[in-house]
Structure 1
Amino acid sequence: MSPRADTADYRQLFLDDVPFLDLRSPGEFVHGAFPTAQNLPLMSDQERAAVGTCYKRQGQAAAIALGHRLVSGAERERRVAAWCEFARGHPGGYLYCWRGGLRSQTVQQWLADEGIAYPRVSGGYKALRRFLIDELEHSLKRARLVLISGRTGTGKTRVVTALERALDLEGLARHRGSSFGHLPEGQPSQVDFENSLSIALLQLLARGDGDTVYLEDEGRLIGRVALPEKLVKQMQSAPMAVVEESLEQRVEIILQDYVVDLARRYGESHGAAAGAELHRERLLEGLDRIRKRLGGERHQRIRGLMQQAFTVQSATGDTAAHRAWIAVLLESYYDPMYNYQLSRRSGELLFRGDRAAVVAWAGAQ
């Protein structure tokens, strides 16, 4: 079998979820990467900085020589072994550095010395990133967005995840989209979020079963990551399907998502005792963040109910007491806010019903 060639077919790479061997420094990778990329850098951040300084002062030849001195001996052997392991484990993958230049070519040669021919992405990370920025704009021009709207607690995310032609913005942002939506695993960087969003939309539209894309009605921010401005603008006039559920049902959904499920997640990531305390702290911090909008008296009332509920939960394991603060918060804060936000939407109302009805309606379109 002949060796695979280097490629500039960025679209197919993302459509196929091709594994990437990312040779950039750890700092470059943290700033922005792709979901299928693994960072096995040629140089550390410190090594890259030293080589860059050398290049500016003494030129390319001196910089290359310094790079070879820095990555040599046992350390070079360790890094080459890691690249070989990746290449053998991902025979359909590609490698890249920032521009697909010297670092990529160096690692290609070192792999070839080990008997492994491994292709690179022409243009490197920079070209892949540029492609996704441009492709998101093209995808948004093509897509017919339909918002899944509704009051807080109606289970909009449950509707989105039940639909085949849907984009889960909160899933991509790893956040539940409210002041209380922080998850233990943390959020991606802004660039990572944008990359994942563009890839997900590209893949969805490439399926060939239409251009309608359902997504949850969101604000500009999901936690600390921002939706692209063009997406925000398009959402403001997109048609809507509104999910309606009783207050009792909504309280139950909030209880399950923000109390029961979050408690489990924090327990799994931090241990039972530390997780329970961190869960309590994070919900109280979320409430404190909206204190000005709640007003001092209402904030203190809800905070007291929340603290009491956590005290009962800690002593007995019973989460039922949380329903009290959830109900007050929904009726006195989130419902008026939803009414205001809905008044600012100009999109057509296509359908209204409970979760099951909205899922059935969307599935029949």
Structure 2
Amino acid sequence: MFETIHYEDTLNINKAKLYIDCRSPSEFNHSSIPHAINIPVLLDDEREIVGTLYKNGKLEQAKIVGVTAISKRLPDIFTKIIELKTNYDELYFFCSRGGYRSSALVNMLLGVGVKCHKISGGYKSYRKYVNEHLENLISNVKLITLYGYTGTGKTSILNELQNMGYNVLNLEKYANHRGSLLGSIGKSEPFSQKKFESLLFEDLKKSENSYAFAEGESKRIGNIILPASLYTKLRASTKILINSDMDFRINEIKTQYLVDFENDKELIEKTVKKLEKYISESRINMYMDFLKNNNFNDLIQDLCENYYDRNYKLPKENFTKIYNNNNSIEIAKQIAKDFEEYFA
């Protein structure tokens, strides 16, 4: 009989460990334990077939289909796990609720002498742990928040601060969205709410009872809703204002948004057309002409002046520091120097 372990107990084990998600690829991509890898017992199409059979009461047939599906991949799975054991002392397997999928794989591995554990309650128990502790972690972090118009280099500054070893809550990274109308351009699919919360949770643990840098956000980043307590904490934080001239902003936006224009052109056009409810038809047509002629500079400048800046509401409170950014690396160094005592 295999041993089960609660997720929270794995956190106290100071050995090289790896979480292995036995769910289907689509379940894994939607959300998982951060840094877990996916070794699916059933692929997406197989899971759908097995699930349909279960729903129709054909339990034995469902088991046969499941066993047949995974048996074809067992040699590859076993080879991969043997390789992983050379780098990790502990392997923790989980599925949705700690049921059939993880149990079947762990039983098989134990049967051939591979030491491993199953997480009790599976991914559902991990989510319960996050939900129970997230609010406490938010309450214990102290934030220094960067504000500024689109393209002033806030994200680049945060990335540099993180490279320098400072705690950073990169909310847009957790959402895989930049928080603006064009925020999904150049990105893969936006992350789910659960994935956002898991990534936030991981970095909050690193920042517990200490300061962290963050970027000022609205209550939503794309489809992601910020926890109310986190939004309140952002608004009450120590605030920094980042300013930049228009040439810098244009270049920053091109660097962030238009990395692969040819592949993203259709998406950019569709996204710009969503502005029809906010700006005139003549301006939309002008934007389409800019795109057709690859005139990004004029497009970005007009978007900044007539859409972004008009709709971006800076906090009314005083800023502790104001920086004029024309070099994000140097500004990050200056911020680190100016706020050194916060991290002493």
Shorter-chain TM-score category? 0.7 to 0.9
Amino acid at match of 1:279: D
- Superposed counterparts of 1:268-279, under 5 Å: 276-279=261-264
CA contact (8 A) 1:238 1:346 kept: no
Matching of residue 362 in structure 1 with residue 336 in structure 2: no
- Within a 5 Å distance, the mapping from 1:95-134 to structure 2 comes to 95-134=93-132
Alpha-carbon offset, residue 50 of structure 1: 3.4
Aligned-residue sequence identity (percent) comes to 23
Residue 189 (structure 2) pairs with residue 186 (structure 1): yes
1:353 lines up with 2:323 in the alignment: yes
Give the unaligned 5+ runs of structure 2. Answer: 326-330
**Structure 1 equivalent of residue 219 of structure 2:** 220
Aligned with 2:297 (options 323, 327, 332):
323
**Alpha-carbon distance change, 63 to 220 in structure 1, aligned in 2, over 3 angstroms:** farther
Q: Deviations over 1:215-241 (max 9, x none)?
A: 111223323333233322332333311
* Aligned residue runs from structure 1 range 192-211, under 5 A: 192-205=195-208, 210-211=209-210
- Seen in structure 2, the aligned counterparts of structure 1 residues 134 and 253 have a Cα distance that, compared at 3 Å, is same
Partner of 1:176: 178
Provide the C-alpha distance between the structure 1 equivalents of 2:39 and 2:33, rounded to a whole number of angstroms. Answer: 14
* 1:297 has 2:300 as partner: no
- Matched-pair contact (CA < 8 Å) for 1:42–1:79: no
- Aligned mates of 1:305, 1:104 — CA distance in 2: 53
Contact (CA 8 Å) 2:219, 2:225: kept in 1 or not?
A: yes
C-alpha RMSD over aligned residues: 3.3
TM-superposed CA distance for 1:150, in Å, is 0.8
Amino acid at match of 1:251: I
- Structure 2 Cα separation of the partners of residues 40 and 347 of structure 1: 50
Amino acid at match of 1:159: I
- The CA distance in 2 between the partners of 1:15 and 1:230, in whole Å, is 32
Q: Note closer, same or farther for the CA distance 1:64–1:325 as it changes in structure 2 (3 Å cut).
A: closer
Contact between 1:97 and 1:125, CA under 8 Å: does it hold in 2?
Answer: yes
Q: Write 1 or 2 for the structure with the bigger share of helix.
A: 1
Measure how far apart 1:106 and its partner are: 2.8
Secondary structure of 1:9's counterpart equals helix
* CA apart distance, 1:53: 5.4
Aligned pairs for 1:1-365 within 5 A:
6-9=5-8, 12=11, 18-45=17-44, 46-47=46-47, 50=50, 54=54, 57=57, 66=64, 69-70=67-68, 74-163=72-161, 164-182=166-184, 183-205=186-208, 210-259=209-258, 262-263=259-260, 276-308=261-293, 310=294, 321-338=295-312, 341-342=313-314, 345=315, 349-355=319-325, 356=331, 357-365=334-342
State the 1:93 CA deviation: 2.9
The answer for unaligned runs of 5 or more in structure 1 is: 264-275, 311-320
**Quick one: structure 1 residues 335 and 147, their matched pair in 2 at CA, closer, same or farther if it must change by over 3 Å?**
same
Q: Deviations over 1:305-346 (max 9, x none)?
A: 3332x1xxxxxxxxxx532222222122222212xx22xx46
Alpha-carbon distance in structure 1 between the residues aligned to 2:25 and 2:78? 17
Q: Secondary structure at the match of 1:215?
A: strand
Tell me, in whole angstroms, the C-alpha distance in 2 between the residues paired with 1:48 and 1:110: 23
Q: Distance in 2 between matches of 1:17 and 1:151?
A: 43
Q: TM-score, normalised by structure 2?
A: 0.80
Once the two structures are superposed, what CA deviation does each residue of 1:38-57 show, in whole Å capped at 9, x if it has no partner?
22222345457637854995
Q: Distance in 1 between matches of 2:70 and 2:146?
A: 55
Instruction: Call closer, same or farther: CA 1:281–1:49 in 2, change over 3 Å.
Output: closer
SS in 1 for 2:180: coil
Q: Is the 8 A contact 1:24 1:98 kept in 2?
A: yes
Shift of 1:70: 4.0
SS of the equivalent of 1:290 reads helix
Alpha-carbon separation, structure 1, partners of 2:167 and 2:70: 50
Give, in whole Å, the separation in 2 of the partners of 1:21 and 1:364.
Answer: 41
Give the distance between the partners of 1:141 and 1:235, measured in 2 at CA. Answer: 11
- Deviation of 1:179 (Å): 1.9
Aligned length: 328
1:162-183 per-residue CA deviation (whole Å, 9 max, x = no partner) reads 2212211122222233222222
Moved more, 10-19 or 27-36: 10-19
Higher deviation after alignment, 215-224 or 193-202:
215-224
Distance change >3 Å, CA 51–CA 277, structure 1 → 2: closer
- Cα distance 1:84–1:98, how it changes in 2: closer, same or farther (>3 A)? farther
Query: How much does 1:145 deviate?
Result: 2.3
Runs of 4+ in 1 over 6 A off after TM superposition: 13-17
**Contact persistence 2:102–2:118 (CA under 8 A):** yes
Find the aligned partners of 2:178 and 2:114 in 1 and give their Cα distance: 44
Q: Which residue of 1 aligns with 2:328?
A: none
Q: How far apart, in 2, do the equivalents of 1:17 and 1:231 lie?
A: 32
How many Å separate the matches in 1 of 2:127 and 2:61? 26
